[in-house]
């Protein structure tokens, strides 16, 4: 056979001019191209220059067309191999430089010293802040102690001033010779709004208590002695001392008594009648002293239990008669409607009558008269 792989039948069409100008161009892979350094680029460019400029030898032209691509292929592969070798060498150098960095012991020691100094500074700052807080707290506590001592001293000073003013008021009030019925009435309701207040024990039985002349406050006794006639008519008798005893007994039976003036009106011969509103709470002591027959040997009757803790609001009146000759009060009597709230609680007049039968107070909220 005259034809083969290396000598095709149309070999006469491929002349030397055509074959000699064929150049195989092989581009390196995409991952190698960016990594080529200047040395590899120079090698590749030199190889391309030699392959383009050098003429093909006669032996290459006469053999076959298939052998022509071998030379540039080998040349380019060698160039690529050289470039990859150079790249691998550079990468090894870079990796070695990265894997084994030179440690600067001086810089590390400086960093450690800086860290230690920073920690020490923080510790010092914390201790300083704590000491300042302790000092502030101590100053605050001292300030509170001084304030408490100052308040106690001021309270004691005010108490002394109150005693002096009470004594001065009592002296001034007792020394006044001329009064009007209106001023006497106003002062009476101011002083006796809560009854006659004195040093007595409400737990004692009412009948067994003595009536000392010192009962009631000094201002109240001074007012009665200075403005009441010697034979003043009270709820149960005549005389200033009898009036004091009556007021004292009534306050003892009703310790929660409170009298408020609604209005004042004048009557004949300069008399004054005050319309009042009286409030009272039925406490355990009130029931024992005002209604002793409802509690016997600490046994409470059902009526006593019904009365316990009841709050009564009553309409009342106080009548004062004025003596123009002596400029004193000749008559002082008061009463309140205790019957109406009692009927609201029990709802039966017979039961209310039985309750007031042996009581120390009357349905008019006055002291009951007892034969001695």
196 and 272 housed in the same domain: yes
Q: Last residue of some domain: 51, 79, 98?
A: 98
**Residue 263 domain-assigned?**
yes
Q: How many other C-beta atoms can be found within 10 angstroms of the C-beta atom of residue 274?
A: 21
Residue 80 has pLDDT above 60, yes or no: no
Backbone angles phi, psi at 288, to 5 degrees: -65, -40
Of the two residues 67 and 263, the one the predictor is more confident about is: 263
Backbone angles phi, psi at 193, to 5 degrees: -65, -35
Closest by CA to 22, choosing from 44, 51, 47, is 51
Q: Which two tokens mark 345?
A: 């609680």
- pLDDT reported for residue 183: 87
- pLDDT reported for residue 87: 44
Q: Last residue of some domain: 140, 175, 210?
A: 175
Gyration radius of the chain's alpha carbons: 63
pLDDT > 90: percent of the chain: 22
Residue 95 has pLDDT above 80, yes or no: no
Mean pLDDT to the nearest integer, 43-72: 46
Residue 278 has pLDDT above 90, yes or no: yes
300-316 pLDDT, tens per residue?
889 889 998 899 999 99
Give the list of residues 6+ apart from residue 291 with CB closer than 8 angstroms, or none. Answer: 304, 307, 355, 358, 359, 360
41 and 89 housed in the same domain: yes
Q: Last residue of some domain: 119, 142, 175?
A: 175
169 and 189 housed in the same domain: no
Q: Tell me, what CATH number does 328's domain have?
A: 3.10.450.50
**Residue 103 domain-assigned?**
no
Predicted confidence band at 68 (pLDDT cuts at 50, 70, 90)? very low
Q: How many other C-beta atoms can be found within 10 angstroms of the C-beta atom of residue 253?
A: 25
- pLDDT reported for residue 49: 46
Mean pLDDT to the nearest integer, 80-93: 48
CB distance 330 to 323 below 8 Å = yes
Whole domain around residue 334: which residue ranges?
181-357
Of 77-91, 150-164, 168-182, 306-320, which range is least confident? 77-91
335 and 283 housed in the same domain: yes
191 and 239 housed in the same domain: yes
Of the two residues 361 and 54, the one the predictor is more confident about is: 361
Of the two residues 249 and 51, the one the predictor is more confident about is: 249
CA distance 239 to 210: 17
Residue 152 has pLDDT above 60, yes or no: yes
Of 106-115, 263-272, 359-368, which range is least confident? 106-115
**Residue 367 domain-assigned?**
no
CA distance 367 to 211: 15
217 and 136 housed in the same domain: no
**Residue 42 domain-assigned?**
yes
DSSP strand E in the chain: where?
228-233, 258-266, 272-281, 295-296, 299-300, 311-323, 328-336
Mean pLDDT to the nearest integer, 319-337: 90
CA distance 278 to 340: 13
CA distance 198 to 122: 69
**Residue 262 domain-assigned?**
yes
- pLDDT reported for residue 5: 63
Predicted confidence band at 125 (pLDDT cuts at 50, 70, 90)? confident
- pLDDT reported for residue 24: 66
**Number of structural domains the chain divides into:** 3
- pLDDT reported for residue 368: 84
Mean pLDDT to the nearest integer, 275-296: 90
Mean pLDDT to the nearest integer, 225-229: 90
148 and 200 housed in the same domain: no
Mean pLDDT, the chain, integer: 74
CB distance 326 to 229 below 8 Å = yes
Residue 10 has pLDDT above 50, yes or no: yes
157 and 194 housed in the same domain: no
254 and 206 housed in the same domain: yes
158 and 274 housed in the same domain: no
Mean pLDDT to the nearest integer, 126-144: 91
**Residue 370 domain-assigned?**
no
Q: How many other C-beta atoms can be found within 10 angstroms of the C-beta atom of residue 7?
A: 13
Counting beta carbons within 10 angstroms of the beta carbon of residue 280, is it exposed (0 to 12), middle (13 to 18) or buried (19 or more)?
buried
327 and 192 housed in the same domain: yes
**Residue 279 domain-assigned?**
yes
**Residue 107 domain-assigned?**
no
Of 8-22, 179-193, 230-244, which range is least confident? 8-22
190 and 302 housed in the same domain: yes
Answering whether pTM is above 0.85, one says no
Residue 26 has pLDDT above 70, yes or no: no
- pLDDT reported for residue 169: 78
Predicted confidence band at 61 (pLDDT cuts at 50, 70, 90)? very low
- pLDDT reported for residue 176: 52
């Amino acid at each position: 056979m005259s034809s083969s792989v290396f000598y095709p039948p149309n070999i006469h069409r491929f002349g030397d001019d055509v074959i000699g100008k064929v150049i195989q161009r092989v581009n390196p892979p995409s991952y190698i191209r960016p990594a080529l350094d200047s040395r590899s680029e120079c090698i590749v460019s030199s190889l391309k220059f030699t392959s383009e400029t050098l003429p093909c030898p006669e032996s290459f032209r006469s053999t076959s067309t298939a052998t022509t691509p071998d030379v540039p292929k080998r040349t380019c592969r060698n160039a690529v191999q050289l470039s990859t070798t150079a790249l691998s060498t550079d990468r090894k150098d870079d990796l070695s430089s990265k894997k084994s960095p030179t440690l600067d012991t001086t810089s590390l020691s400086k960093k450690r010293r800086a860290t230690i100094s920073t920690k020490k500074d923080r510790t010092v700052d914390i201790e300083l802040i704590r000491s300042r807080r302790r000092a502030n707290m101590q100053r605050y506590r001292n300030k509170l102690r001084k304030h408490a001592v100052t308040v106690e001293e001021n309270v004691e000073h005010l108490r002394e001033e109150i005693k002096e003013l009470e004594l001065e008021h009592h002296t001034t009030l007792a020394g006044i010779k001329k009064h009007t019925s209106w001023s006497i009435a106003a002062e009476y309701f101011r002083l006796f709004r809560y009854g006659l207040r004195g040093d007595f024990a409400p737990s004692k039985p009412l009948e067994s208590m003595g009536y000392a002349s010192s009962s009631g406050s000094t201002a109240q006794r001074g007012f009665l002695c200075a403005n009441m006639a010697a034979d003043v008519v009270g709820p149960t008798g005549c005389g200033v001392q009898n009036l004091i005893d009556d007021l004292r007994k009534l306050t003892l039976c009703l310790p929660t008594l409170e009298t408020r003036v609604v209005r004042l009106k004048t009557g004949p011969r300069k008399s004054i009648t005050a319309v009042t509103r009286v409030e009272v709470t039925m406490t355990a002591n009130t029931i024992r002293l005002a209604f002793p027959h409802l509690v016997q040997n600490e046994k409470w009757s059902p009526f006593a239990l019904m009365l316990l803790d009841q709050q009564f609001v009553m309409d009342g009146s106080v009548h004062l008669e004025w003596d123009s000759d002596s400029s004193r009060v000749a008559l002082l009597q008061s009463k309140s409607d205790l019957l109406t709230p009692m009927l609201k609680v029990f709802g039966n007049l017979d039961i209310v009558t039985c309750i007031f039968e042996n009581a120390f107070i009357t349905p008019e909220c006055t002291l009951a008269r007892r034969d001695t």
